[in-house]
Amino acid sequence: MIILGIDPGYATIGFGVVETVGSQAALRHYGTITTPAEMAFPQRLAVIYRDMNTLIDRVAPEAMAIEELFWGHNVTTGIGVSHGRGVILLAAAQRNLPIFEYTPMQIKQSVVGYGNATKHQVMDMTRRLLHMQEVARPDDAADAIAVALCHARASTSLLARIP
């Protein structure tokens, strides 16, 4: 299964492509979609939508895993990220791509085994599990890889087979 992991945003959207065969997972590609800060917000959303469609076409994923939003202290940023996330979900839904959403705690639990793991712990464990030479950069891409890996592990769990 080819899984497209997404760390949503509007300035920088991380993506990671993980391929699984049985319980084995391998990193295929990662990177970011970026939008210029000086661009009007609606145009930034248009760039995200266009680039997400291009990414989906090139990668041909069988599933998209995306991080659910965590509302921190900056509500204004959260609203912008919500808009970006909506555009990303729209691109996937228009292609009938199955979408799976995970909370930050679920991602940490799946990758590290501890729901309150630090960002560094998640990034290092992702590197180890996927046999990477170094942690992916930027952080947005590393986060997206962890989201994809979370889905890879969840979809091969024996619990996923229970009707």
Say which residues have a Cβ less than 8 Å from residue 88's Cβ, sequence separation at least 6. Answer: 6, 8, 13, 48, 52, 66
Among the options 51, 101, 134, 140, which is catalytic? 140
Among the options 7, 19, 51, 143, which is catalytic? 7
Among the options 19, 38, 62, 67, which is catalytic? 67
Q: What is the 3-state secondary structure (H, E, C) of 101-125?
A: EECHHHHHHHHHCCCCCCHHHHHHH
Residue 38 annotated to the active site: no
Residue 140 annotated to the active site: yes
The CA-based angle 163-101-137, given to 5 degrees, is 130
Residue 143 annotated to the active site: no
Catalytic residues: 7, 67, 140
